[in-house]
Amino acid sequence: MSDVILPLELIDKSIGSRIWVLMTTEQEFVGNLVGFDDFVNVVLEDVEEYEGDKLISKRPKMLLNSRQLAMIVPSGERTSSSTK
């Protein structure tokens, strides 16, 4: 049997690591994953918020609602080629 990693396991393994979060809106966030719940609401620290290539703000801590979350990239750093 192959090693299957379930989605919540992958997120759990990313706690303490830097992740890249893409929202259903034009917003993107890069930060250190502090934790998440069963609904995949996520708490990030040292967060950078982007719209397109533009850095909008930096925040010490942020809670992102999973209803607007489109994708999480574990160990991911945002690149300029990531914009639409």
Structural domains in the chain plus CATH codes: 7-77 (2.30.30.100)
Asked whether the beta carbons of 28 and 21 are under 8 A apart, the reply is: yes
Mean pLDDT of the 18-37 span = 96
The values of phi and psi at residue 20, to 5°, are: -115, 125
Local confidence band at 1 (pLDDT 50, 70, 90 cut-offs): low
Mean pLDDT of the 49-75 span = 95
- Mean pLDDT for the chain? 91
pLDDT at 81 (0 to 100): 53
Local confidence band at 75 (pLDDT 50, 70, 90 cut-offs): confident
- Is the predicted pLDDT of residue 77 greater than 60, yes or no? yes
